[in-house]
Amino acid sequence: MTGAQSFLLFLILLGAVATMLRLVSRSTPTVPYPVLLAAGGILIGLVPGLRIPSIGSELILLVFVPGLVFEASLALDLAELRRRLAPIGLLATLGVVLGAGGILIGLVPGLRIPSIGSELILLG
Protein backbone atom coordinates (compact mmCIF):
# COMPACT_ATOMS: atom_id res chain seq x y z
CA MET A 1 0.00 0.00 0.00
CA THR A 2 1.43 3.38 -0.99
CA GLY A 3 1.58 6.40 1.24
CA ALA A 4 -1.34 8.07 -0.52
CA GLN A 5 -3.49 4.95 -0.18
CA SER A 6 -2.73 4.59 3.51
CA PHE A 7 -3.51 8.27 4.09
CA LEU A 8 -6.81 7.90 2.22
CA LEU A 9 -7.68 4.82 4.28
CA PHE A 10 -6.84 6.76 7.44
CA LEU A 11 -9.14 9.62 6.38
CA ILE A 12 -11.99 7.20 5.62
CA LEU A 13 -11.60 5.54 9.03
CA LEU A 14 -11.43 8.95 10.68
CA GLY A 15 -14.66 9.95 8.95
CA ALA A 16 -16.33 6.73 10.10
CA VAL A 17 -15.25 7.36 13.69
CA ALA A 18 -16.51 10.96 13.49
CA THR A 19 -19.87 9.73 12.17
CA MET A 20 -20.18 7.20 14.98
CA LEU A 21 -19.31 9.89 17.52
CA ARG A 22 -22.00 12.13 16.00
CA LEU A 23 -24.57 9.39 16.54
CA VAL A 24 -23.38 8.95 20.12
CA SER A 25 -23.63 12.70 20.77
CA ARG A 26 -27.23 12.73 19.56
CA SER A 27 -28.15 9.94 21.96
CA THR A 28 -26.34 11.63 24.88
CA PRO A 29 -27.07 15.37 24.60
CA THR A 30 -25.16 16.16 27.81
CA VAL A 31 -21.81 15.62 26.08
CA PRO A 32 -21.13 18.06 23.20
CA TYR A 33 -19.95 16.70 19.87
CA PRO A 34 -16.61 18.62 19.84
CA VAL A 35 -15.77 17.12 23.24
CA LEU A 36 -16.46 13.64 21.87
CA LEU A 37 -14.31 14.40 18.82
CA ALA A 38 -11.41 15.48 21.03
CA ALA A 39 -11.78 12.37 23.21
CA GLY A 40 -11.97 10.17 20.11
CA GLY A 41 -8.82 11.76 18.73
CA ILE A 42 -6.99 11.11 21.97
CA LEU A 43 -8.14 7.48 21.98
CA ILE A 44 -7.05 7.01 18.35
CA GLY A 45 -3.65 8.44 19.26
CA LEU A 46 -3.29 5.91 22.07
CA VAL A 47 -3.77 2.86 19.83
CA PRO A 48 -0.42 1.03 19.79
CA GLY A 49 1.07 0.29 16.39
CA LEU A 50 -1.25 2.64 14.50
CA ARG A 51 0.70 4.69 11.98
CA ILE A 52 -0.83 8.14 12.09
CA PRO A 53 0.26 10.47 9.28
CA SER A 54 1.90 13.65 10.47
CA ILE A 55 -0.25 16.72 10.01
CA GLY A 56 1.27 20.17 10.35
CA SER A 57 -0.10 22.70 12.80
CA GLU A 58 -0.92 25.04 9.92
CA LEU A 59 -3.23 22.44 8.39
CA ILE A 60 -4.97 21.89 11.72
CA LEU A 61 -5.48 25.62 12.24
CA LEU A 62 -6.67 26.23 8.68
CA VAL A 63 -8.90 23.18 8.17
CA PHE A 64 -9.98 21.46 11.36
CA VAL A 65 -10.42 24.28 13.88
CA PRO A 66 -12.73 26.42 11.67
CA GLY A 67 -14.85 23.36 10.96
CA LEU A 68 -15.20 22.58 14.66
CA VAL A 69 -16.04 26.19 15.50
CA PHE A 70 -18.60 26.34 12.67
CA GLU A 71 -20.24 23.10 13.78
CA ALA A 72 -20.37 24.31 17.38
CA SER A 73 -21.99 27.57 16.24
CA LEU A 74 -24.72 25.62 14.45
CA ALA A 75 -25.51 23.68 17.62
CA LEU A 76 -25.42 26.78 19.84
CA ASP A 77 -28.57 27.68 21.78
CA LEU A 78 -28.95 31.45 21.36
CA ALA A 79 -31.29 31.82 24.33
CA GLU A 80 -28.71 30.13 26.57
CA LEU A 81 -25.96 32.36 25.16
CA ARG A 82 -28.00 35.50 25.84
CA ARG A 83 -28.63 34.39 29.43
CA ARG A 84 -24.92 33.83 30.02
CA LEU A 85 -23.57 36.74 27.98
CA ALA A 86 -22.38 38.82 30.96
CA PRO A 87 -20.24 36.08 32.61
CA ILE A 88 -18.86 34.97 29.25
CA GLY A 89 -17.91 38.54 28.34
CA LEU A 90 -16.36 39.15 31.75
CA LEU A 91 -14.29 35.98 31.65
CA ALA A 92 -13.16 36.61 28.08
CA THR A 93 -12.18 40.22 28.80
CA LEU A 94 -10.46 39.36 32.06
CA GLY A 95 -8.60 36.47 30.41
CA VAL A 96 -7.30 38.68 27.60
CA VAL A 97 -6.21 41.43 29.99
CA LEU A 98 -4.45 39.01 32.37
CA GLY A 99 -2.80 37.14 29.49
CA ALA A 100 -1.56 40.34 27.85
CA GLY A 101 -0.35 41.66 31.21
CA GLY A 102 1.50 38.43 31.92
CA ILE A 103 3.20 38.53 28.54
CA LEU A 104 4.09 42.19 29.09
CA ILE A 105 5.69 41.41 32.44
CA GLY A 106 7.52 38.42 30.97
CA LEU A 107 8.88 40.29 27.95
CA VAL A 108 9.74 43.77 29.21
CA PRO A 109 13.10 43.60 31.05
CA GLY A 110 12.38 46.43 33.49
CA LEU A 111 9.14 44.88 34.74
CA ARG A 112 10.61 41.70 36.20
CA ILE A 113 8.71 40.09 39.03
CA PRO A 114 10.72 37.19 40.52
CA SER A 115 7.89 34.65 40.58
CA ILE A 116 6.72 35.40 37.03
CA GLY A 117 8.88 34.20 34.19
CA SER A 118 8.69 33.13 30.61
CA GLU A 119 6.09 30.48 31.47
CA LEU A 120 3.43 33.14 31.04
CA ILE A 121 4.21 33.35 27.35
CA LEU A 122 2.93 29.79 27.08
CA LEU A 123 -0.24 30.68 28.98
CA GLY A 124 -0.88 33.87 26.99
Q: What is the pLDDT of residues 55-69, one digit of tens each?
A: 778 887 888 888 878
Beta bridge partners of 113: 116
Half-sphere exposure of 81 (CA within 13 A, CB side): 7
Mean confidence (pLDDT) of the chain: 80
Q: In the chain, at which residue ranges do the beta strands (DSSP E only) sit? A: none
Q: Which residue has the higher pLDDT, 51 or 73?
A: 73
On the question of pLDDT at 2 being above 90, the answer is no
> Averaged over 1-7, what is the pLDDT?
75
Q: What is the pLDDT of residues 83-121, one digit of tens each?
A: 999 999 999 999 888 888 877 777 776 666 655 555 555
CA distance 72 to 69: 5
